[in-house]
Amino acid sequence: MAVKNRLHRSELAVPGSNPRMLEKAPDAGADIVFLDLEDAVAPDDKALARKNIIAALDTYDWSKCAVSIRINGLDTHYAYRDLVDIVEACGDKLDTILIPKVGCAADVLFVATMLSQIEAYKGFKPINIHVLIETAMGMANVEEIARTCPERMEAMVFGVADYAASVRARTTNIGGANPDYGMLTDPDETGARAYHWGDQWHFGISRMVAACRAYGLRPIDGPFGDFSDPEGFRAAARRAAALGCEGKWAIHPSQVALCNEIFTPTEQEVTRAYRILEAMEQAAKEGKGAVSLDGRLIDAASIRMAENVVRQMNQIESRRNG
């Protein structure tokens, strides 16, 4: 079965066409590094990027992070060669394959079939899959995609830039806010009206999160384009975390630490989670189904949320100590 507890707080994008960035990637501090063959690589550089990635996987120590490759879209003639060349050469060093622009279950099944054949031929262990939901078709079929190939499917990523293009949304910054997406309040007693910005990506992320949680996958938020704006990144990441995402892309190394910070439970959250579990354990001994803690009711749902926090923190501590 697919790995269900891998940390995805930070997913660092590294162009396969840039050997210097490939060299630095294993030590960038990201939970996952995905070596990119798609958007970050020009058409004339695709073949060289594959060779660069194979060399990097064979040369550097990747034990500090999980490793993925983003293949080219299945609507191109590059995708099959991405899989054959890299997986045959280095499939034993890969944790996942990231499939872009997934529109239906058949896209996942195609890659899964290719992987099964290569793995059988080379004697490799199964490689997991995570997918980008970044088209109108992908969002329309997100539940179908989420339940496809459970033995490999691990995570979904909301690809905001291509999604915006697919639905013809107007955007001013990849993954950021749009001042046109807002509402006016009614006039107050002086006739003044306030304008409140909204989050135009709320629906897309929320729907993907629900599909992921329904079928045991991890939801990951995609890129924030302005890497010179850490506060804007923080706001976008906190929004994604509040909606249930477990991590976010970093398109620049400076964003990795921000991802890890925001998607790691705070000390206060961890302390409260343990207090909830202790309070509910005591309530169970007393035959109570619910109990009050700090003036607030906690019940079975509170236990599940607290257990999620503790489980994630244990994963993070295990990685730190590993």
> What are the binding residues?
70, 134, 162
Length of the chain: 322
* Other Cβ atoms within 10 Å of 16 Cβ, number: 28
Cα–Cα distance for residue pair 29/48, rounded to 1 Å:
26
Tell me the backbone φ, ψ of residue 155, rounded to 5 degrees: -155, 160
Task: Please answer whether residues 250 and 30 qualify as being in contact, where contact means their C-beta atoms are separated by less than 8 angstroms.
Answer: yes
* Annotation: binding site for substrate: 70, 134
8-state DSSP, 310 = H
**What is the DSSP code string of 139-193?**
HHTHHHHHTS-TTTEEEEEE-HHHHHHHHT---SSTTS--TTSEEEPPP-TTS--
Tokens of 108: 């996942």
Joined together, the tokens standing for residue 320 give: 């730190």
Query: How many CB atoms sit inside 10 A of residue 207's CB?
Result: 16
Q: From 12, 49, 57, 17, select the one nearest 32 (Cα to Cα).
A: 12
Annotated binding site for Mg(2+): 134, 162
Q: Which two tokens stand for residue 286?
A: 């007393």
